[in-house]
Chain A
Amino acid sequence: MADAALKEAARPSLWRDVRVLRAAGQVVFVVILVVIAREMYLNASFAIGSAGRELSYTYLDSRAGFAIKEHIVGYSANQPLYKAFLAGATNAMLVAAAGIVMATVLGVLIGVARLSPNWMVKKIALVYVEVFRNIPLLVQVIFWYVAVILAIPRIEDSVSIFGVAFVSNRGAAMPAIRSGADFGTWSLFVLAALLVAATVWRWRTRVHERTGGRHYRWLSSLAVMAVLAAAGYALLGDAFKVELPELIAHGYSGGLQISPEFAGILVALVVYTAAFIGEIVRGSILAVSKGQKEAAQALGLSPGQQLRLVVLPQAMRTAIPPINNQYLNLWKNTSLAFAVGFPDLINISTTMVNQAGHALETFSLVVGTYLGTSLLISFGMNVLNRAVTLRGGTA
């Protein structure tokens, strides 16, 4: 009994109980946030209402009316506004996807060049990094588009590369591979070829392990696959065909075409981001402890094997988080396309707002799209990171 009384006495009063205060504080915090959010919503709907409009997304179904010069979603001026928005979003994503691949390749090259034993190569890479990462991206975007791409010869004097590819300031056109009627069947063929090649790979590996002789597994499995795929192509007749671009009156027809605006923003993004990725690659290679390299050397691995089997896997582990960050930056930086008139998310949405109003709704969609895609990229890199960490952990 006395015990309970003591406990009762020891318990602090309600307004001094830390747990109560914490809960109350949080409730107050949340309530204040909700009140502010509600106030903002009411202000917006009042402002929009008093202008005789309403806060809703139904306007997205009305006819857009403006044309967009390049898109991958089959858009035309007669289609609804949401389709225009979609065209802008996919354009931005296309630039980002191409940019991520190319910036990674260039960045790794720069990073490795920074560590090259060759003094000249090392210094070129250093200058590259110091120049491009210290100049605002917007300056670079305008520079590539206005000073470089628009200065390429006009369409009349289009530069022809062996008659199969063309370059002018209306863009570049190159041969494209288009799927034919039998493409589906042929891809099954390729799938089968892949299986056979895998089997060959395993067989060669086993032979190598048993006899110690050279395995040639790359060579043999690739050869098997190539032969089978080619056989399938020959048998089916219409698996795919190469489409050559043609020079017509005011542009190109057919083939794979790249517009100057797309090229401008893409080149700028790649060159800029690669400078950062290069530094990450260099830093993470150097971060692999010296003992690891020495141990690999002691095992008698060749320099190439050392790099491939010991250094790079470990370097990759430390490089992925900051590289993910660069990918996110690249995605966000596609918004600078406004400077060159490439129809990206920002470009299309400002046009939409100007032609159809509804600024709040349209720009909230823009915010949502950027955020969603950022999360998606992060998620993908997270998956990659986990895979790499796992392998590194078992090694």
Chain B
Amino acid sequence: MSGAGPKGPRLGLGLSEDVDLLRFEQQARDVEAAPGPGPATPGEWIRQNLFSGPVNALLTLASGTFVLFVAYQILSFVFVSAEWEVVQVGMRGYMIGGFPVDEAWRVWASAYLVIVLAGLSYGVSARRLRPSAGQAAVGAVVVAVAGTIVFFTAQTVLVRALTAGVAPAVLAGALVGRLFGRKILRPLIVAWVLVFPAIMIVVRGFDGVPPSEWEGLFFNIVAATVGIVASFPLGLLLALGRRSELPAVRVVSVGLIELFRGVPLVAWLIFSKFVVDLVLPPQMVIPDIVKAFVAMTLFSAAYVGEIVRGGLQGVPAGQYEAARALGLSTTRMMALIVLPQALRSTIPAMISHFISLFKDTSLFVAIEVTDLLAAARRSASSLQYFGRDMETLLFAGLIFWAVAFSMSRWSQRLEVRLGVGRR
């Protein structure tokens, strides 16, 4: 079933279009993955791919020069002119900001929780643990780069050890997961569901640290997770509301979706900080950061709603009819037949939304939250390191990029695994 075009000329302020986009991307990957006649020798390959005609040869030369130029600029900056001391000194600020140092174990504990779970999941799901040569090479480079960064930036032996412990923890998790295989799939899923509440307890419980002190990369990750977790049920409701037969429910759902999506997140964040207090009852006092989380959740829910709607539209009418024929009630039909299919097809779009939400958490700086980017900016404006903008921006950008990029890669693999859009 290819279903290339959109269903009709319908166009909203929509994100369901992005679901289409994901479908294109996947088709594109399919088309490109199609095996063609391979070149016989390296020389043949070069001739075919780089110098197949005069225009092509010219393009290769021009773009090759461009690549060399950019690579030279980057390398000479990174290894010669850059002064990385500012990053080394500011590292703790980038990661956890003003999070009390004595309480930093809470963050480490949370991080290890997630890391071990990720390792277990990898062990359970990976078809083979032994990576291909290409994967091994990429992995080696990543480990080398990460190792270098850790070695040069870690301030204490403990931090160095804890960071170095990440790799063994993942590996151990993977081996254990491999050992038990599918048998622990169910507990694993339950664990993933519970991991966020667990982290909240670890961070906040036992005289923990209030949200106003969550800063740095830790804030970015937590905020994005809060956003996606809280906005999922709300988005589901909005999607169902938008497809409701009751005009009032439909109109309100459409109105809310378009309202929250038509205005930038920055505006909503500022709105939440400066205006929301006015419309709430005077005795109701909510901390700024909670109001901002609520604003982000509503913003995100509008997008989730559209993604889910796209998924619902993709469920064939026959599925509804079959469910009816079996005599299922509406709730059971939705819960057992329609939603599982709809949600499964939305997983890639959800992950892509999560990635953009993660990137958007940098906008909290507009309401004076010190996230990773703000911490990086601050370290470049301190007297001692004034003007080290390039170094700090590159480093912050690299971390954001690494998280977003690895998630998008994971999403692509998941798509293949689930066979989304390919049935």
B54 adjacent to chain A (CB < 8 Å): no
A370 touches B262 (CB 8 A): yes
Given the known inter-chain contacts A48-B278, A385-B11, please indicate yes or no for A322 contacting B396, CB distance below 8 A: no
Cβ contacts B52-86/A at 8 Å (1 or 0 each): 10001001100110110000000000000000000
CA distance A318 to B13 in the complex (A): 16
Chain B residues with CB below 8 A from A117, complex form: 49, 52, 56
Cβ contacts A88-123/B at 8 Å (1 or 0 each): 000000000000000000000000000011111100
> Can you name the residue of chain A whose Cβ is closest to the Cβ of B22?
A283
> Can you name the residue of chain A whose Cβ is closest to the Cβ of B359?
A136
Interface range for A: 35 or more
CA distance A49 to B232 in the complex (A): 38
CA distance A119 to B32 in the complex (A): 13
A284 touches B49 (CB 8 A): no
A371 touches B6 (CB 8 A): no
CA distance A41 to B280 in the complex (A): 9
A363 touches B359 (CB 8 A): no
Cβ contacts A38-58/B at 8 Å (1 or 0 each): 011101101110000000000
Which residue of the partner chain, among B66, B275, B405, contacts A363 with CB atoms under 8 Å? B275
Cβ contacts A305-327/B at 8 Å (1 or 0 each): 00000000000011011101100
Task: Please report which residues of chain A, range 1-54, place their CB below 8 angstroms from some CB of chain B when the two chains form the complex.
Answer: 22, 25-27, 29-30, 33, 39-41, 43-44, 46-48
A382 adjacent to chain B (CB < 8 Å): yes
A26 touches B4 (CB 8 A): no
Cβ contacts A282-304/B at 8 Å (1 or 0 each): 11101111000000000000000
Given the known inter-chain contacts A367-B263, A378-B13, please indicate yes or no for A118 contacting B63, CB distance below 8 A: yes
Which residue of the partner chain, among B28, B267, B355, contacts A335 with CB atoms under 8 Å? B267
B42 adjacent to chain A (CB < 8 Å): no
B27 touches A47 (CB 8 A): no
Which residue of the partner chain, among B14, B32, B246, B365, contacts A26 with CB atoms under 8 Å? B246
Stretch of B127-135, B206-214, B247-255 at the chain-chain interface:
B247-255
Main secondary structure of the interface of A (DSSP, over half): helix
B282 touches A43 (CB 8 A): yes
B397 adjacent to chain A (CB < 8 Å): yes
B246 touches A118 (CB 8 A): no
Given the known inter-chain contacts A139-B373, A350-B270, please indicate yes or no for A325 contacting B14, CB distance below 8 A: yes
A367 touches B267 (CB 8 A): yes
B15 adjacent to chain A (CB < 8 Å): yes
CA distance A69 to B31 in the complex (A): 51
B243 adjacent to chain A (CB < 8 Å): no
A270 adjacent to chain B (CB < 8 Å): no
CA distance A336 to B363 in the complex (A): 8
Stretch of A127-135, A153-161, A245-253, A255-263 at the chain-chain interface:
A127-135
Stretch of A140-148, A170-178, A189-197 at the chain-chain interface:
A140-148
Known interface pairs A142-B373, A286-B28, A318-B6; 14 further A-B residue pairs with C-beta atoms within 8 A, sorted by A's residue number: A29-B252, A118-B56, A134-B404, A136-B400, A146-B393, A279-B25, A283-B27, A283-B28, A320-B11, A325-B18, A335-B267, A363-B270, A370-B267, A378-B13
A-B pairs, 3 with minimum CB distance:
A283-B24, A119-B49, A26-B248
